[in-house]
Chains A and B, each alone.
Chain A
Amino acid sequence: MSHDYSKLIDELSRGHRSRAILSKILEVCGDSVLDLSRRNIVIKIVIKAKCLRTALENIYKEHDLYLRTIAASDERSREGLFKLYYVFGIDSEGTNLVFEVPVAEGAKVDTISDLFRASDWYELEAHDLLGIEFNGRQMSRLVLPEDWPENLYPLRKEVSVEELKKMYQPQLISRVSELGVEEVVRIPVGPYHPALHEPEYFELYVRGEKVVDARYVGFMVHRGIEKLAESMKYDQVPFLAERICGICGFVHSTSYVQAVEDALGIEVPERAHFIRSIVLEVERIHSHLLWLGVALHLLGYDTGFMHAWRIREKVMVLAELLTGSRKTYGIDLVGGVKKDIDKDKIPRIKETLNVLRKEFKELVDVAMSVPQVKARLTGTGVLPRGEARAYSLVGPTVRGSGIARDVRKDYTYAAYHYVSFKVPVYTEGDNLARTLVRVDEVFESISIIEQLVDMMPGGPIKAERWEPQPMRLGIGAVEAPRGEVIHVVLTDLYGPYRWRVRAPTYQNLQAVPIMLKGVDLADAPLTIASIDPCFSCTDRAVIINLRSGSVKTLPIEVISRRVRGNG
């Protein structure tokens, strides 16, 4: 390494970890680094595609480093190239390390899925949506449906939304004419019944009662909202973002506005930060209560389920009082929020929180003392710490396996740096650990809201004006109830040029097969639910018995109520 680098490294690094990583990268591929820069917590390295793998091979073992997201973008109209943005996090110093990789059309990028296992889906998705090719790995379709035509990459700029809409028409029109009617409504009802939960599909391979392997098929309702947002204006997208998830929508709108604010350097008033944090914590409480209810239901303890949701109702009413809606709060705007929390609501908030704390404690005490609940949570669905790290997992899933990763602490945002709170961590890695993390977090959230309400500053709730600029990169991350949500935004004049959303379940689902291996079939539904996949899931699962060769389909709830075989 030549000595002129050392000054640059001093300038850019935010701690000894980023210093070590930067010097290693410059040492092995200094010639291929096209540009190095830092803005706030983001260190950006523009690196040639051919050297990306070499660089990462040298740093992937660094403690603390994990893959947060990969955003692929079509920038041929500007620079004649595709670009890949690899976002890594260094937890201990709260640094985002972004590798910007220009990729010429038709060129291939070396895979990193063996170094960072979480990158598997990102690479497949970049290939599906933008046609970027990767070397050294098997490619298969992930996001797009099986009957999608080859070589039509929806996120490429030359493909219009109108054109994509037509993709569903030819089939429909021919069907309708076959039926000889004028109007038909198509309702998909299938192995992924979208009744109450979201559609996911797991295949569990069992020997006797033990699960020996699991396969996941998803993305059945990939809606292409990233594409849709490219035709929307800055202040319209928060409402679209909020509809990504029906349970934790506010984290998505907040993540999006934070990404835009980061990209354009918008100063958000303190009061808006406080309001966002309060609402985010209200959302976490309702989500954890919902999850606890569903988990108890899957364990067959419906009394606990009913009481968890009875308590949750109070939180929903509080959310409505604060924002105007029980869910999809709709108060986030770029530069602030659109609804203030008036003084006269504060006693009501405190009163609700007091009742909540008391009743939730009561419920947890009782529910956790039910012998069956405890027995079925303990020791099932174990996720070892090493695997949790290797897969770059997030949220209560990783905190149940002994890693204290929490965006609120590590990459602090909104008003979280004003409050003191603990990040609950359990080391056992089983379903009980993940449950207890969430239980503890509810109490922490109650305390966070109480602190925020007491400290709330006055002043405006929205930045007065801000100027959009083209092609700025912004990153917004929020700790959602189920893990870290991260949005990457490339700006344009009226709205996002490219908007990359990564929800926590995207990261966590890839580890579910590990948790499932070796569990009893009866514990599989709870294990799948233990990552809190928005319980975005299937009502049905297919059981294939290797010994008898039988294939049968059962509703997932029936499996969970089956008695353990060898008990």
Chain B
Amino acid sequence: MVKFLKMLSISVREGTATRKYPFESPLVTPEFRGKIEIDPVKCVGCGACTRICPPKALTIGNEGDEIVLKYFEGRCIFCGMCAYVCPQKAITVSKEFELATWELGDLYDEVVHTTVKCRICGKPFTTVKFVKEVEKRIDNKVPEDLLTVCPECRKKLTARKIGSKVVGVSGE
């Protein structure tokens, strides 16, 4: 027999390889990385995920009096780094991958945080939950300035302190 006809018996043995997706469920292993889900209760808005996110699908910023963590699925590469670095374990990687939609808005997820306002300039600079988390983690021993003054005002404050010390020393 001509050898290449052996393929016929292989084909009969294997049958149809193509799955009838979407009528049949797609083959996804338990390890599959799909879109991420952010637990708004656990999230404290620290922004660690936004700093590691390679395609910048996660962003954090001030919007009025609130700080908003935004997740845009359209940019997401499903690498799971955000879940890997999240100190609060607020991000989980789901198995969802059927993300096509008619509405661009469907591709955005947002977590809105209430903010702490700087006691000097009045600008919101961090989230209430983040401050609470920091206090919890280091046992309420945080200097008060760190929790109530924004980084920029703190810089000025420190500069002034150093300045007065230097002046003090030279005045002696």
Contacts and interface: CB of A to CB of B under 8 A. Distances in A.
Interface in B1-40: 3-4, 6-7, 10-11, 14, 17, 27-33
Nearest to B77: A239
Contacts of A324: 31-33, 80, 93
A364 B102 CA distance: 45
B152 to A, nearest CB: 22
Interface stretch (A12-20, A230-238, A434-442, A497-505): A230-238
Interface in A345-402: 362-363, 365-367, 369-370
A330 interface: yes
B7 A307 contact: yes
B79 interface: yes
Interface of B: 3-4, 6-7, 10-11, 14, 17, 27-33, 51-55, 77-81, 84, 93
Given A324-B32, A365-B3, A369-B4, A233 B52 contact: yes
A233 B54 CA distance: 9
Contact of A310 (B17, B32, B54, B77): B17
A313 to B, nearest CB: 7
Contacts of B81: 235-236, 239, 330, 338
B79 A330 contact: yes
Given A236-B52, A240-B54, A366 B6 contact: yes
Which are the 6 A-B pairs with shortest beta-carbon distances? A239-B54, A369-B3, A324-B33, A330-B79, A236-B54, A321-B29
Given A323-B31, A330-B79, A366 B7 contact: yes
Interface residues on A, range: 20 to 34
Interface of A: 232-233, 235-237, 239-240, 243, 303-304, 306-307, 310, 313, 317, 320-325, 328, 330, 338, 362-363, 365-367, 369-370
A370 B6 CA distance: 11
A320 B31 contact: yes
B31 A322 contact: yes
Secondary structure class of chain A's binding surface, majority of residues: helix
Given A237-B54, A310-B17, 14 more contacts: A236-B52, A236-B53, A236-B54, A240-B54, A307-B10, A307-B11, A313-B17, A321-B31, A328-B79, A338-B80, A338-B81, A338-B84, A366-B4, A366-B7
Task: Tell me which of A233, A239, A243 has the highest count of chain B C-beta atoms within 10 A of its own C-beta.
Answer: A239
Contacts of B51: 233
Task: Tell me which of B14, B77, B79, B80 has the highest count of chain A C-beta atoms within 10 A of its own C-beta.
Answer: B79
B54 A320 contact: no
A424 B52 CA distance: 41
Contacts of A235: 52, 81
A330 B33 contact: yes
B71 to A, nearest CB: 17
B80 A330 contact: yes
A240 B79 CA distance: 11
A107 to B, nearest CB: 37
A4 to B, nearest CB: 50
A243 B79 CA distance: 12
Nearest to A345: B31
Nearest to A310: B17
A237 B52 CA distance: 10
Nearest to B27: A317
Contacts of B4: 366-367, 369-370
A366 B54 contact: no
A359 to B, nearest CB: 8
Given A317-B27, A338-B84, A328 B6 contact: no
A303 to B, nearest CB: 6
Nearest to B3: A369
Contacts of A306: 17
A322 B84 CA distance: 17
Nearest to B93: A324
A365 B10 CA distance: 12
Nearest to B83: A338
Contacts of B55: 239
A262 B28 CA distance: 36
Nearest to A373: B4
B19 to A, nearest CB: 10
A362 B84 contact: no
Contacts of A243: 77
Contacts of A233: 51-52
